[in-house]
A and B are shown apart, each in its own frame.
Chain A
Amino acid sequence: MSFSPESMHLAACLRLSLDTLRLECPQAYQRICDCLAPLTVALSLDGDPASLAFCPGLIRIVPVEGPAPGPHGGQVGIQPDVHASASRSTIIDLLEGRSTIEDAILSDAILLRGRIDDIARFHDALLYYVCGAVRCPSFPAILAGYRSPGRRRRKERTANRLKVHPIGYHGISERLSSNGQVP
């Protein structure tokens, strides 16, 4: 699977929401990092992929299972520790209280793959993400944009007012240098 313009959607949503979380509820952002560093998580929403690399104090969006710079400039492939996939309708059901995360997992509406300890850490991080999101003044607009794509333009205007500094598609060099190993 390679990075393509189609994958911008989920990646852009994640970047916006994580930047917002980092600025507006840094405690939750830090807890997510604490839960998941130094893991990498591959997400897929209706087949739209994005990968996140978790470092101490920082979450990076990384190319999806594509080449990334190694510690000495070489290229390595990312092997995510956790794979999670779901549909947009599943996410909407969760947001609107029609399903719980447990229900969605047990019914395979959310598919998870990875070591059980890593999946448990991912679950905890997901809850911190929600706990942080409900404390961010800018999240209602982001959520509205997600629920109704037609409102996306308004959401982006709101996000622009945040003056966030976008996190680009970074490699995982920090992670590699911090633990000295290729995952």
Chain B
Amino acid sequence: MAQMRGLVGQHDYLRGGVARGGVADRKEWYHFCILGPDVDVIVNFSLATDLRPAARSGSQLGRVVLLLRERGHGWEGDVDTFPARDVQARAGDVGMHIGGNMLGYGTGGYQLSVALAECPLTARLTLYPRTLPLLARSNAVIGEGRISWLMVPRLTATGTVVAGRRTYQLAGAPAYHDHNWGHWQWGQDFTWQWGFALPSDDGQWAVVFQQMRDRSRNRVTEQIMALWRGPDLYRLFHQHEIEMQSAGLVPVRPLLKLPRVLGLVAPERTTDLPQRLVVNAVSSSDRLRMTFEAYDLAQILVPHETDLGTMVINEVRGRATVYGDVKGHEVAWAGEGIYEFLT
């Protein structure tokens, strides 16, 4: 276990610090999803070149997203933005400080401490890696730029989450983490959908799928589906080995849109997101099928950097079943997950 944590620390380091310049549209973030029994938590620490028209050339922004989904209370959260002077981030380190929020990595795993500025939500969590990290994409094409993607698909989370007067103690909750970096602009010719599922019974499996398309969503440019067993990547399917099918629409209900003010320009309460997403992967004698049933979503809205449009990052909560026959082993488990759909 100590060796695994060491490997994660060696590979999941910040590629560009806050002071590092040179690339005009650089982006980098650490993303965490925690699936607790009574609360789901999504945390994102990001650094990005400030591409707003009046921004000083080369200036950067730090952002922290905290999004909670409480059983019986729905979604709540916010996006806090900070100027570079409020960010401490050094290339080579794992983590960063943004405002009063902290992401670090020590012998115990990832340490997260987040408190939103204007929304009574806080999270103090430690996430212990249970799989080795995978650099799933390195300098892959995204729009007119490049993106790299490192993931640790299964962790366990322990700590405290507070929403107003409600306190949740998490002990060993299943969690997912990825780290993306590269350079591109929101609004360029791409969309993505990716998701993960983790077993409900503390099983040792994890599955992740990812697909890139053009903005019209008619042309698939890249896709993978990965299966972990224990700490190791067990099977990786890619490109033509994968087929995705969708059916139905995510149920309509009041939607949380963040930042809230952007909901004024994207007020729609309906989406064209699939209620059921089936990912089939077949390669030689190996077969894997994941069915994801969506039941709730929230949206993070991002202003285009290419024009005055708005991009929607749909965070979709659902249940998953995974069946297959891989390397002579039967795969059959049910679990929980999140898929993210860019529209």
Point out the residues of chain A lying under 8 angstroms from B265, CB to CB.
127, 130-131
The answer to whether A137 touches B55 (Cβ under 8 A) is yes
The answer to whether A136 touches B54 (Cβ under 8 A) is yes
B261 interface residue (CB < 8 Å to A): yes
Report the bound CA distance from A96 to B53 in whole Å.
25
The dominant DSSP class at the B interface is: loop
Contact with B along A20-52 (1 / 0, CB 8 A): 000111111001000000000000000000000
Report the bound CA distance from A140 to B90 in whole Å.
27
B260 interface residue (CB < 8 Å to A): yes
A182 interface residue (CB < 8 Å to B): no
Report the bound CA distance from A174 to B310 in whole Å.
34
User: Which B262-288 residues have a C-beta within 8 angstroms of A?
Assistant: 262-265, 267
Contact with A along B46-62 (1 / 0, CB 8 A): 00001011110000000
The answer to whether A134 touches B53 (Cβ under 8 A) is no
Report the bound CA distance from A86 to B214 in whole Å.
41
B177 interface residue (CB < 8 Å to A): no
A128 interface residue (CB < 8 Å to B): yes
Report the bound CA distance from A143 to B310 in whole Å.
20
The answer to whether B267 touches A101 (Cβ under 8 A) is yes
The answer to whether A96 touches B260 (Cβ under 8 A) is yes
The answer to whether A25 touches B53 (Cβ under 8 A) is yes
Once A101-B267, A128-B308, A134-B303 are accepted as A-B contacts, the answer to whether A25 and B260 lie under 8 Å apart by CB is no
User: Which A102-125 residues have a C-beta within 8 angstroms of B?
Assistant: 102
B257 interface residue (CB < 8 Å to A): yes
Point out the residues of chain B lying under 8 angstroms from A102, CB to CB.
267
Q: Please tell me which one of the listed residues A25, A127, A135, A140 contacts residue B264 in the complex, with CB atoms under 8 A apart.
A: A127
CB distance from A143 to the nearest CB of B (A): 8
Point out the residues of chain B lying under 8 angstroms from A138, CB to CB.
54
Report the bound CA distance from A96 to B257 in whole Å.
10
Once A131-B303, A131-B310, A132-B308 are accepted as A-B contacts, the answer to whether A23 and B54 lie under 8 Å apart by CB is yes
Q: Please tell me which one of the listed residues A23, A97, A131, A136 contacts residue B308 in the complex, with CB atoms under 8 A apart.
A: A131
Point out the residues of chain B lying under 8 angstroms from A133, CB to CB.
261
Q: Which residue of chain A lies nearest to B268 when distances are taken between CB atoms in the complex? A: A100
Point out the residues of chain A lying under 8 angstroms from B260, CB to CB.
95-97
Q: Please tell me which one of the listed residues A27, A94, A97, A127 contacts residue B53 in the complex, with CB atoms under 8 A apart.
A: A27
The answer to whether B308 touches A28 (Cβ under 8 A) is yes
Point out the residues of chain B lying under 8 angstroms from A100, CB to CB.
263-264, 267
Point out the residues of chain B lying under 8 angstroms from A28, CB to CB.
308
Q: Which residue of chain B lies nearest to A140 when distances are taken between CB atoms in the complex? A: B81
Point out the residues of chain B lying under 8 angstroms from A101, CB to CB.
264, 267
The answer to whether B53 touches A95 (Cβ under 8 A) is no
User: Which A122-175 residues have a C-beta within 8 angstroms of B?
Assistant: 127-128, 130-138, 140, 143
CB distance from A136 to the nearest CB of B (A): 7
The answer to whether B257 touches A135 (Cβ under 8 A) is no
Report the bound CA distance from A127 to B261 in whole Å.
11
Report the bound CA distance from A151 to B233 in whole Å.
53
The answer to whether B52 touches A137 (Cβ under 8 A) is yes
The answer to whether B54 touches A24 (Cβ under 8 A) is yes
The answer to whether B261 touches A134 (Cβ under 8 A) is yes
Report the bound CA distance from A28 to B303 in whole Å.
13
Q: Which residue of chain A lies nearest to B264 when distances are taken between CB atoms in the complex? A: A130
Point out the residues of chain B lying under 8 angstroms from A136, CB to CB.
52, 54
Can you list 24 pairs linking A and B with CB atoms under 8 Å apart?
Answer: A25-B52, A25-B54, A27-B308, A95-B261, A95-B264, A97-B257, A97-B263, A127-B265, A128-B308, A130-B261, A130-B262, A130-B264, A131-B265, A131-B308, A131-B309, A133-B261, A134-B259, A134-B261, A134-B303, A135-B53, A136-B54, A137-B52, A137-B54, A138-B54
The interface of chain A, by Cβ under 8 A from chain B, is 23-28, 31, 94-97, 100-102, 127-128, 130-138, 140, 143
- Shortest 10 CB-CB contacts between residues of A and residues of B: A97-B260, A24-B54, A100-B267, A131-B308, A97-B263, A135-B52, A130-B264, A127-B265, A130-B265, A95-B261
Knowing that A96-B261, A97-B257, A97-B263 touch, tell me 5 more A-B residue pairs with CB under 8 angstroms: A24-B53, A102-B267, A131-B303, A131-B310, A143-B261
